[in-house]
Structure 1
Amino acid sequence: MSTDAREAPDNPFIEDPPTDFDDVDDLTEEAARRQAEQLREALRYHDRRYYVETDPRIPDRAYDALFARLSALESAFDLQTEDSPTRQVGGEPLDAFDTVEHVAPMRSIDSSGDVEDVYDFDRRVHDRLGLSQTEGDSAGQASLDAYADGAVEYFCEPKFDGLSVEVVYEDGRYERAATRGNGETGDDVTANVRTIRSIPLRLSGDFPDYLAVRGEVYIPRDAFQAYNRERVERGDDPFANPRNAAAGTLRQLDPSVTAERPLDCFFFDVLDASRRFSTQRERQETLPEWGLKVNDRSTLVDDIEAAVDYRDDLVEDRDDLDYEVDGAVIKVNDLEQCERLGSTSRAPRWAYAYKLPARTEETTVRDIVVQVGRTGRLTPVALLDPVDVAGVTVSRASLHNPDQIADLGVAVGDRVKIQRAGDVIPYVDEVVEDNSEGHFAFPDHCPVCESAVEFDGPLAFCTGGLACPAQLKRAIEHYVSRGGLDIDGLGEQKLDQLIEAGLVESIPDLYDLRVADLARLDGWGETSAENLARELEAKTEPSLDDFLAALGVPEVGPTTATSLARAFGSLDAVMDADEDELQAVDDVGPTVAHEIREFFGSERNREVIADLREHGVEPRSVEVETGDALSGLTFVFTGALDGYTREEAQALVERHGANATGSVSGNTDYLVAGESPGGSKLTDAESEEVPVLDQEAFEALLADHDIEVE
């Protein structure tokens, strides 16, 4: 392929390309074939200028027009090729990943955040190469003198916080890709890696006949924040950090999902090639000539002290980088010396990673977005540079409400201190460096549906109701989720399809879905459509607690739903209960009782429930508490029981007046231990002198109280 515009003087799509084209139907097949070849050549050239040289020659709109033209030609004249740029938009979903063997081991490298360990690495390198020091240095000394027999040069590069992949080219064409896996074998992710625009499907320049390279797939920080913003605004949870997002994306079974996400890749090693190199630096400088993107922070240094300085510079600059790094990789530059040093079973002796310190508690607000919950409540969320807080990586934090934003004076660009409420929920505690004017302005219209925002004290709500796509989607997602009715076959993407196709505009619409309508949608088939229909039919008589949890009543999760079901027995009884009756239920306090009463007092919610009943959905009533034979006793259950679950055992004793709790204390009367019990509960029982019953003894106790196990 041509790598310079001067090498393709007859290609009209490289310099100032036209973006208005004749109709495809007016072309002959030969003319279409010739234009398609020129477009592929031009698109590869522009990809190289954009991704590898970071010096694009045409605007994005012009590139998109060329890409669309090539797609139209390939479709109209059946001109698709394996290495066409249009093959980077996804493909058919996979059933599973195959395992492939790497062409060469993909070893990890030893690492430490202690500078003394870095100097120890340097000493080992010189000792093994027979390069002695002029003055003896004690182990751990952080300053080295010159070496009598010569010094070792080091090639330094950032240690990217992404996902390592092996990419193989044969005759310059993309052949396959695999994750690192265990270092010897990895998952075959050929279809997914193909979609990454910065990874060429055909090499350029004077490439070798065979090439296997190692790269790091990552999501640029700006793209990560933008993608998280989209997820939050549509009601989805954001990704925790760029590395998790990249790893999860690369392991998607549907390549079209991978193609939609902003993955990128840096290459940094040659695993095997039909060409020899003499130094790390030579290898790194050659990769871009073949169209493979490398990092511009890589550099050659004279000694280990300069390598340490390199890492310290990374610490200073990492907030300004558009990718996450967690260390500096220090490699012996001379490849002949690397061969002499060799490797252990897990790591090369010629490389070491000097880790960066974790970011702790203080970080920068990169964006503030407003999330629309399924109840319509608008919650401001700060998207952050990932930071370590009490051992957990945090990339978002709650700002709670407009009043708190104003009190903090927080805005995009500010440096803030992050805390975790109860060591769980991250929140912005204070602004430690004000880099903005004023504070974030809370919107007066819903960011999703543009409906007016209504304030109830410090809380803000979208007035769009189920006409708001975020509320509708979140409500339906919750209804079919594992925390709701657990309806298989309706993941996020499939649900999006149904909403966009106009097949689902409310929860009851799920029960109007027809197999023929579903089978016509992309990615669906007769089998998957029939499976979903069967799932929906099977869930028309859900348990009362599952149904209550699925409705998405604020503050009512599975545990509270179970308590309500046991206390009231039927849906109508729960719907008609007043706040005093609700507060008499375990797990229900004044706030939860008010939320439940508000939910079932809403005319719109009652209409949805009535509509569900008209579609044949009727939750099963449950037997309410039947007696007080076990009144005053408290049980804790651990391990697996034979014939029934722990939850069913808990429900049984509670129906007969006992309490069932999750942890052993001095108030516990019995610990019931099934197979593989938790060690901590057994230890607590011993220290609190709580009797431990196996399943046989538990059932004997029930029999003594005339209670039968169902």
Structure 2
Amino acid sequence: MDIQNTIQTLRAELDQHNYNYYVLDKPIISDYEFDSKLKQLQDLENEHPEFFDENSPTQRVGGTITKNFQTVPHQHRMYSLDNSYSKEELKEWEKRVQKVLGEVPLAYTCELKYDGASISITYENGKLKRAVTRGDGFQGDDVTNNIKTIKSIPLQLKGNFPVTFDVRGEIILPFAGFEKMNQDLIEIGELPYSNPRNTASGSLKLQDSAEVAKRPLDCLLYFLIGNNLPFQSQFEGLETARNWGFKAPKEAKLARSLDEVFEFIDYWDIHRHNLPYETDGVVVKVNSFHYQDELGFTAKSPRWAIAYKFKSEQVATKLNSISYQVGRTGAITPVANLEPVQLAGTIVKRASLHNADQIEKLDIRIGDTVFVEKGGEIIPKIIAVDWSKRPVNSEPTKYITNCPECQTELVRGEGEANHYCPNFYGCPPQIIGRIQHYISRKAMDIEGLGGETVTLLFNNGLVHNYADLYELTVEQILPLERMAQKSAENLVKGVANSKSIPFESVLFALGIRFVGETVAKKLARHYKTIDALRNATLIDLVLVDEIGDRIAKSVIDFFENQENGIIIDRLKEYGIRFEITEKINLNATDKLSGKTFVVSGVFAKFSRDDLKKAIEDNGGKVGSSISAKTDYVIAGDNMGPAKLDKASKLKISIISEDDFINLINKTDAVKE
């Protein structure tokens, strides 16, 4: 008997049965027969380890232990979607699309918006290579071992497929499986899970993949991305993916007009309650990949797609009290403490009241019966008061005048919505919040140190600012609650490793008000060093691209604070990177310095991403849309007529990719 051939035949047969059962929902053998064949394969693989295959059906049972999930950058960024809540907003979105593309015939792919955890899965030569969580969109956690246990995700593809590509999907927990899990917990006296979405998301980070395998998770595919994909549209991509073995829900529909999109929305707004899993809206995508390329992206979202959110579920409950939270910047957030109530699958006890103006506008009072909904199905908020149930002795809410933590008198700047505690270096929640921000993933990404531990360190007098982290010793940490030798060593090691974090992340970590991740990158790339930035004047800062008065003033205020200067000098001594590390590119020049390019169309010698990289490598800037600031439009085949017309009206130079190549090959290119 040819053992290797028998093993390969069994694997192929079991893969097909998995596909029939979990994707097509059409099993052709009994569970007993399937289990018998799986046991036969397991025995043969155990007897012949030389034929091991990490993508064998036997590996779906799990058993791999992952202590720390490795952070992996996404090859293609995972964007979030813009939301809409009315058909009028969808009409406005279509107008924006047509403004870029012109009056071209448009088709849309309509898909249900699944409420789960987003995942990006890489396939190479038809085999599942890696699975990474969404994370912050730029990078996520490698959860490959856990993903392999989900039986609707193919380990080996069928048919003709590209050498490498990524699929995007949503990991969900169907209602039936969720209810069964909760029933099992109740029977053993444990608390049930709150909702399917959070349970699905939490399952991906379980350390034991065998435990993940016990959970009835599913994966619904919604997008494929890569070079040389054998289709030209979203809808065709979904159909092709099904042939390769993926579970792409058949509820998706190709709409030839916005009216057909509305029909799809109206139908599923009613029938979504009959689905076996949670959905909170519809995703509408421009069907053509060419048009998607033309439309491009904003800083956060694709311009070619939008989510229509179904009307949020509302409930009425009693407002028991109002408490006030202090953020790391000193901003005060009022929080409504509610009589617990079931809302959209979760128990809600608290809701944001935003600020004093919102409380006054709604005339919210303690003891009121209020209407609560989940904004975007995530954050609970109070939308109105039931006046008919207001107590007779009700009194208007008086907003606090002093910080609830340090009793400092609050301030409110002109034109600002929030009150602030100005006690920047003496208010505990601000100090703790700044350190927690400093250690976070998008900032210094310090492993072995979490938010609760920061609070513990502060409360025990071991840290008073983030510079103190670099003086911590294992001996100081060990006596703290829940701290063992290994965890103390990991904490100190994680802090030391943060010294290699690049300058742009360090700048974000400092917690300068209004300086988010994107602004920090702009400032780091412009000024190159912390000293150049701290010596910049207000006028200098405002002249930096996309830096306005508010951000500039905040940066000036931060560096004028003597305490901040002392902390930065200490961080320098500890070896923190306060200058940008330029990536070495032997072909890089500054030939395109000061010039802005817009890329449009399909190209023969470059991919769009490679073309944009070439612009940036030679000192140029890539613009997202044509404006008076655009110097050149690089036009490929099928460039949108609206862009062509706009560039002509603005008298912007329109060049080909060959013109661009000649441009960067010239010795004194574009220097005028």
Band of TM-score, shorter chain = 0.3 to 0.5
TM-score, L = length of structure 2: 0.47
> Larger Cα Rg: Structure 1 or Structure 2?
1
Higher relative contact order (CA 8 A, sep 6+): 2
